[in-house]
Structure 1
Amino acid sequence: MTADSVAPRAASNLPLRHKPDTVVKTKDGAVFDLVATYNRLLAEDQELSMPVAAIEALIELLSHLTTSTVFETVEIVKAQIAHLKSSVPNPIPPTAGAELFTRTLLSSLRQETKDDDGDDDAAGPTRIASSTKMSFEDMRQYLVRNSRGFAAQAKAARAVIADVGARYVTGGSTVLTTGGSRCVKQLLLRAADRRIQLHGSPDFRVIYVMDGSSDSEIAVKALREHNVPVATVDVASAAHAMRLGKVNRVFVGAEAVCQRGGVLSRMGTYQLALLANEHKADFYVVTETHKFAMVLPLDQNDVTRLGVKQKILEFKRSEDETTPAPDLDADENPWRADYTPPEFVKAFITEQGTKTPASILEFVLRIYAP
């Protein structure tokens, strides 16, 4: 007997699992465009965060799928997410939402459900992915319903955050904020209502650093309509205003919270954190937990490494001045992002309570653990 005679033969007659076509079509035959759906959702609802927009876009994708196996579904979803991440100026927030959606999808596929006959003790649990009583179409609809419930919970998080964070705004204090964070705006409005209930008026002041966005103007208008005294300053005046106004606390939003407790947010957040540290003012990040992501930047150099499309430094010589400035790249961020290290953050105010930077890693691992 030779070695060749006992060697395993190639199983050429076994069926191979081919990757499915990742193009998804709607009922009318049109190609479903996840990126266009994501952008449309953001344009239609100004209160929608980027992670939730990604989740809702993926739910729409799931509703159009005609796949008949778990493998096909997962492969198409993964391919579509990769396309979304490569097609947006700032992929980090939608990536956080997409990863949560994927975790929800996979956990639902593994989830144990009770037998349909209602006799829990007699039959015991059966896995949804292998249940003989649930067709794949039934399972897909089940996933769509569950995912929609998750998106609704994510949207409702801001109201809970406002209740948690309102107590950090005390009577006679001066707080500083910037940008158009919906969470921060709702927190300050809730704090105003709370102070009115307790003392008859919103007895705190807000210094708003205007970053040029329409979001900032909307927030200032809403606060003043609640009789909150608001002073607006430009970015160059932030340090002077912080000292002059005797700022006690700084509240900012986030685009993503990194696993070590750092923050990726609009450009200027980092310098406010530095100023707050210098002026001994507490620096709070107000955000939903669906923005917590498994990313690990170390400094400002890592912002573009993580996929954010932006050009901050462009060194020129005198001969370069004759070259006309290029138009903003269509793929580049309309606003830019920076990174705030965890040592500058006092705490994160979330719908699941107040968390220190040191506790973020454990929390993120619980979310994304297999």
Structure 2
Amino acid sequence: MALPALDEDAPLVTPQKTGFDVVQAYAALLERDDPMPAPVAAVEALAELVSRSDSSTIQELLALLRQASAQLAAASFNPISAQSGTALFMRYLTLQRPPPEMSFAEFKSELVQRAREFVRNSSKCRDAIAVNMSSFIQDGNTLLVHSYSRVVVQALLYAAQTQKKRFQVYVTESRPFGLGLKTHAVLTEAGIPCVVVLDSAVAYIMAKCDLALVGAEAVCESGGLVNFIGGYQMAIAAKALGKPFYALAESFKFTRLFPLSQYDLPSSLPSAPLAFPSADALASEQSKGVPATPVRPMIHSTMPDALEMSDAATRHNPILDYTTPDQITLIVSDVGVLTPSGVSDALFSLYGG
């Protein structure tokens, strides 16, 4: 049975009901103690959907997967990562050419088996990246890393524990979730000197660092990065002070997204981030009055209680930002060490023209 190429203009076949909640399954994979990377979780969720479906034709299966992919993106806090995984799965499906003697049920079983093999082997990408990154970390280096990234932490642990390199790390606090505190805990437990810095202190500390290192939620076709908020300002500070800025990302995070600015990123927020309030909302804020100024006048004075943003104000802020390719020195991936312009070649080899 020859598998036709995906025709985006073909009418959709109404997908059948499977009794399986793909969004719930995806959420469960991301909420585990050791969660999967979001693109990998998306592949696993779609594989489970295929295994439970009663599709009898390729068009029915494609319609079911299109619908599920849209549901995952709509329900995701970070839709970009989900779309990276679903696009990879759909591309793999449309490239399959099973032998004529294979039944459709056997084809679906083979598809699920290959998808789960990809999921099982996805952690090997981080192993390869750790090796590829090792030559860029030298004895005595001071590094600045952003937030928490599995691949960045693994690369640092490999350099310290396997290659016995001695270095020290500054890590951003990474508001609003404080993910940098997890990086600090992991590195400190491994005996790597690590200090947490305020997000607002990135430019202050950059001059003391030899290089800056970040992970990525996605790597765009332009060679730019989608990352947890704060990565862009770190890249700007690094370039201004002449420090190399490296991004570590697995190849399954490469995505056919070509943003032209910060404001082109897909968002799960109901309205544009940081929009000014309506007249009614402004009046509500005015009624709360002006708080006292937190001060610490003397060296022995206690630290004052900090003013904190409300939960609603925090939710109204962006969670992701886009680092433009001109700010990035190299992208270290399991498929090699790439310049930003090399990402489009890697995507072309995967998705074609």
Using structure 1 for the length normalisation, give the TM-score: 0.80
- 1:62 is aligned, of 47, 50, 65, to 50
Q: Match for residue 160 of structure 2?
A: 192
Q: In terms of mean alpha carbon deviation, does 281-290 or 231-240 score higher?
A: 231-240
Are residues 326 and 240 of structure 1, via their aligned partners in 2, closer, same or farther at CA, if it must alter by over 3 Å? Answer: closer
CA distance in 1, matches of 2:321, 2:256: 17
Among all aligned residue pairs of Structure 1 and Structure 2, give the percentage whose two residues are the same amino acid: 30
AA partner of residue 34 (structure 2): Q
Q: 2:141 touches 2:167 (CA, 8 Å); kept in 1? A: yes
1:345 aligns with 2:345: no
* 2:143 is aligned with 1:175: yes
> Once the 2 structures are TM-superposed, how far is the Cα of residue 153 of structure 1 from its aligned partner?
2.5
Q: Which amino acid aligns with 1:351?
A: D
1:210 corresponds in structure 2 to 173
Q: Is the 8 A contact 2:147 2:172 kept in 1?
A: yes
Matches within 5 A, 1:284-323: 284-303=246-265, 306-309=266-269, 311-316=272-277, 319=283, 321-322=285-286
Query: Is 2:244 the partner of 1:282?
Result: yes
Matched residue type, 2:15: T
Which one of the candidate residues 225, 236, 242 is aligned to 2:200?
236
Taking the aligned partners of 1:334 and 1:67, their CA distance within structure 2 comes to 42
Q: CA deviation at 1:24?
A: 3.1
Task: Give the letter aligned to residue 137 of structure 2.
Answer: V
Is 2:24 aligned against 1:24? no
Helix, strand or coil for the counterpart of 2:247?
strand
Provide the rounded CA distance (Å) in 2 between the counterparts of 1:34 and 1:150: 19
Aligned-residue offset at 1:154: 2.1
- Give a deviation string over 1:120-174, Cα, whole Å, max 9, x none: xxxxxxx43xx1x321111111111111112222232111111111221101111
| Structure exhibiting the larger radius of gyration computed from Cα positions | 1
8 Å contact 2:274–2:316 — kept in the other structure? Answer: no
Q: Which stretches in structure 1 are left out of the alignment for 5+ residues? A: 1-16, 26-30, 112-126, 197-201
TM superposition shift of 1:225: 2.0
TM-score (norm 2): 0.84
Partner residue of 2:300? none
Instruction: Report the Cα offset of residue 19 of structure 1.
Output: 5.0
Q: CA deviation at 1:323?
A: 6.9
Change beyond 3 A, Cα 1:296–1:323: farther
Match of 1:119 in 2: none
Contact 2:78–2:267 (Cα < 8 Å) also in 1: yes
Q: CA deviation at 1:320?
A: 5.1
Query: Does the Cα contact within 8 Å between 1:47 and 1:182 map onto a contact in 2?
Result: no
Residues 273 and 316 in structure 2, CA contact (< 8 A), matched pair in contact too: no
Q: Does the 8 Å CA contact 1:52/1:155 hold for their aligned counterparts?
A: no
Match of 1:105 among 69, 90, 93: 93
Mark the CA change 1:323 to 1:308 in structure 2 (over 3 Å): closer, same or farther. farther
RMSD across aligned positions (CA): 2.5
Q: Is the 8 A contact 1:22 1:80 kept in 2?
A: no
SS in 1 for 2:129: helix
Does structure 1 retain, via aligned residues, the 8 Å contact 2:232–2:323? yes
CA displacement at 1:181 relative to structure 2: 0.7
* Deviations, residues 9-41 of structure 1 (Å, cap 9, x unaligned): xxxxxxxx985442432xxxxx21111111111
Distance 2:330 2:147 in 1: 19
Q: 1:319 to 1:360 in 2, by over 3 A?
A: same
Distance 1:271 1:313 in 2: 17
- Aligned counterpart, 1:8: none
SS of 2:34 mapped into structure 1: coil
What residue number does 1:271 align with?
233
Say which of 4, 7, 28 aligns to 1:40.
28
- Given that 1:180 and 1:219 are in contact with CA atoms closer than 8 Å, whether structure 2 keeps it comes out as yes
Cα deviation for residue 66 of structure 1 reads 1.0
Structure 2 unaligned spans of 5+: 1-9, 289-308
Q: Secondary structure at the match of 1:357?
A: coil
**Code of the aligned partner of 1:253:** G
Distance 1:61 1:340 in 2: 34
SS of residue matched to 2:321: strand
The counterpart of 1:364, out of the listed 326, 329, 347, is 347
* SS at 2:136 equivalent: coil
Given that residues 258 and 295 in structure 1 are in contact (C-alpha distance below 8 angstroms), is that contact kept between their aligned partners in structure 2? yes
Aligned residues: 319
Judged with a 3 Å threshold, the aligned counterparts in structure 2 of structure 1 residues 326 and 173 are, in CA distance, closer, same or farther, namely closer
1:115-134 to 2 correspondence within 5 Å?
Answer: 127-128=98-99, 131=100, 133-134=101-102
Task: Tell me the secondary structure at the aligned position of residue 20 of structure 2.
Answer: coil
